[in-house]
């Protein structure tokens, strides 16, 4: 998160300059099945649950976004986070005070309040902090209408983020439009690390990494490339499917959900973009691990299905 002053607005508070790593976070789940009280409603959750899973099991009074948390519905989600990076999921507990619900174990007997004033305020401040580092141009964004950050902002009645948005800083990174399959707009990245873990821990391709520190933290490539085209990306698209914002978008539908404003597009709204050099045509897209046939052994996969889409 940045702390630059924005004219006419309150400056965001300083945060630590700790760069998120790339490894999967350690398990922080409950060791046993547990009964937890959420806003006074008791719910039983299985072993291995976190507080957010208990919250999701009941109707809660407070709206609890969880922007860097990847939904556990998919079998591979176990390998993605929780990163505990954005703190938009804070709730109050009687036993431990304020905790991030995405990564706090659902301990037996825990009493959670989602609508305690301090918790609501913490979530609001943290959501505004995320937005302060974000290019909030939904109308020209490829994730318009299917964006978790947009949903959280709408659900929490954000009208004007108190710390402004990234636009105010005139410090855009160029849009990386060099790949045929995936477009990267780092000005929309919330550093949740989901893409890095999907790439490294689920796909095991080892293409992406977090690089830099503090305000300069960004997603980058393990081979040191500056563009997607020059990276070792195999175009499986798994990173795109887990990205909660318009930072990673499928090229084919990059403009599908944008509002047609003559002369405005995702690309020229940023102003600068990195284009393909045209020097090399990459092969067809590689399957995502989740799309691989389940009844094939890895041997059979190697012989009969080299892993290409087409
Ligand atoms: S990623 Fe795109 S759709 Fe989502 S909040 Fe940002 S600009 Fe809006
Ligand atoms: S590109 Fe998307 S998935 Fe990756 S860190 Fe940024 S917001 Fe998260
Ligand atoms: S969702 Fe819990 S810290 Fe981001």
Place of tokens 């997607």: 228
The predicted pLDDT at position 293 comes to: 54
Residue 112's φ and ψ, nearest 5 degrees, are -115, 135
Does residue 182 sit in helix, strand or coil?
strand
Atom 7 of ligand 1, nearest CA residue: 138
Q: For residue 179, is pLDDT > 90?
A: yes
Give yes or no for residue 31 having a pLDDT over 80.
Answer: no
CATH of domain 172-274: 3.30.70.20
Atom of ligand 3 nearest to the CA of 100: 2
- For CATH 3.10.20.740, the residue range(s) in the chain are 25-133
Atom 3 in ligand 2: which residue has the minimum CA distance? 243
Which stretch, 170-174, 195-199, 272-276, has highest mean pLDDT?
A: 195-199
Lowest-confidence range among 5-19, 122-136, 246-260?
Answer: 5-19
Provide the pLDDT for residue 19: 40
CA of 76 to the centre of ligand 1 (A): 25
List the residue whose alpha carbon is closest to atom 6 of ligand 2: 189
* DSSP 8-state symbol, 303: H
Which 3-state string (H, E, C) describes 239-263?
HHHHCCCCCEEEHHHCCCCCCCCCC
Measured from the Cα of 148, ligand 1's closest atom is 4
Residue 100: which pLDDT band, with cuts at 50, 70 and 90? Answer: very high
Among candidate residues 30, 68, 38, the one with its CA nearest the CA of residue 196: 68
Strand 111-113 versus strand 273-274 pairing type: unpaired
Binding pocket residue ranges, ligand 1, CB within 6 Å: 134, 136-138, 141, 143-144, 147, 149-150, 188, 245-246
Its pTM stands at: 0.80
**pLDDT value for 297:** 45
Q: Residue 292: its pLDDT value, please? A: 56
What is the position in ligand 2's atom list of the atom closest to the CA of 239? 3
Q: Can you give 40-74 as a three-state secondary structure string? A: CEEEEECCCCEHHHHHHCCCCCCCCCCCCCCCCCC
pLDDT of residue 120: 95
Under the banding of pLDDT at 50, 70 and 90, the label for residue 16 is very low
- Mean per-residue pLDDT over the chain, rounded: 81
Quote the ligand 2 centre to 259 CA distance (angstroms): 23
Which residues belong to CATH 3.30.70.20 in the chain? 172-274
Counting ligands in written order, the one closest to the CA of 149 is: 1
Closest protein CA for atom 8 of ligand 2: 192
The answer to whether the beta carbons of residues 12 and 2 sit under 8 Å apart is: yes
CB 250 within 8 A of CB 237: yes
CATH number among 3.10.20.740, 3.50.50.60, 3.10.20.30, 3.30.360.10, domain 25-133: 3.10.20.740
Is the CB–ligand 3 distance for residue 90 below 6 Å? no
DSSP state of 308: B
- Atom index in ligand 1 nearest the CA of residue 143 equals 3
Q: What is the pLDDT of residues 105-158, one digit of tens each?
A: 999 999 999 999 999 999 999 999 999 888 888 888 889 889 999 999 999 999
Residue 40 has pLDDT above 70, yes or no: yes
CA distances from residue 304 to 289, 298, 299, 308 in whole angstroms, order as listed = 16, 10, 9, 11
84 lines ligand 3 (CB under 6 A): yes
Q: Tell whether the model's pLDDT for residue 28 goes beyond 60.
A: yes
Give residue 23's pLDDT. Answer: 46
C-alpha 202 chain-centroid distance: 15
Beta strand extents in the chain (DSSP E only) = 34-38, 41-45, 90-93, 97-100, 111-113, 175-176, 182-184, 208-211, 218-221, 248-250, 273-274
Q: Which of 1-5, 56-60, 147-151, 211-215 has the highest mean pLDDT?
A: 147-151
Distance CA 249, CA 3 (A): 27
- Burial class, 78, CB count within 10 angstroms (exposed 0-12 / middle 13-18 / buried 19+): middle
pLDDT surpasses 60 at 6: no
Predicted confidence band at 11 (pLDDT cuts at 50, 70, 90)?
low
Q: How many Å lie between the centroid of ligand 1 and the Cα of residue 121? A: 22
**Is residue 90 classed as helix, strand or coil in its secondary structure?**
strand
- At residue 269, the 3 state secondary structure works out as helix
């Amino acid at each position: 998160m940045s702390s630059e002053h924005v004219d006419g607005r309150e400056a965001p508070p300083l945060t630590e300059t700790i760069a998120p790593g790339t490894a999967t976070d350690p398990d922080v789940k409950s060791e046993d099945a547990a009964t937890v009280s959420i806003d006074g409603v008791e719910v039983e959750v299985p072993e291995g649950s976190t507080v957010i899973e208990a919250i999701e099991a009941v109707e809660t009074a407070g709206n609890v976004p969880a922007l860097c948390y990847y939904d556990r519905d998919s079998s591979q989600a176990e390998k993605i986070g929780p990163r505990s990076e954005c703190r938009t999921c804070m709730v109050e507990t009687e036993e431990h005070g304020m905790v991030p619900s995405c990564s706090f174990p659902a301990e037996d007997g825990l009493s959670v309040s989602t609508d305690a004033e301090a918790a609501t305020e913490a979530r609001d401040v943290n959501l505004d902090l995320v937005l302060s580092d974000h290019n909030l141009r939904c109308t020209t964004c490829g994730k318009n209408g299917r964006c978790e950050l947009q949903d959280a902002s709408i659900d929490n009645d954000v009208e004007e983020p108190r710390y402004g948005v990234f636009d105010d800083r005139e410090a855009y990174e160029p849009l990386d439009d060099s790949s045929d399959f995936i477009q990267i707009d780092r000005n929309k990245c919330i550093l949740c690390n989901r893409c890095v873990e999907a790439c490294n821990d689920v796909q095991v391709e080892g293409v992406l990494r977090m690089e830099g520190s503090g305000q300069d933290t960004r997603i980058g490539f393990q081979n040191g490339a500056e563009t997607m085209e020059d990276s070792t990306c195999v175009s499986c698209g798994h990173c795109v499917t887990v990205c909660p914002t318009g930072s990673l978008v499928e090229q084919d539908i990059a403009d599908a959900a944008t509002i047609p404003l003559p002369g405005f597009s995702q690309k020229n709204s940023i102003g600068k973009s990195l284009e393909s050099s045209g020097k090399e045509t990459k092969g067809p897209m590689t399957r995502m691990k989740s799309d691989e046939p389940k009844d094939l052994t890895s041997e059979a996969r190697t012989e009969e299905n080299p892993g290409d889409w087409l």
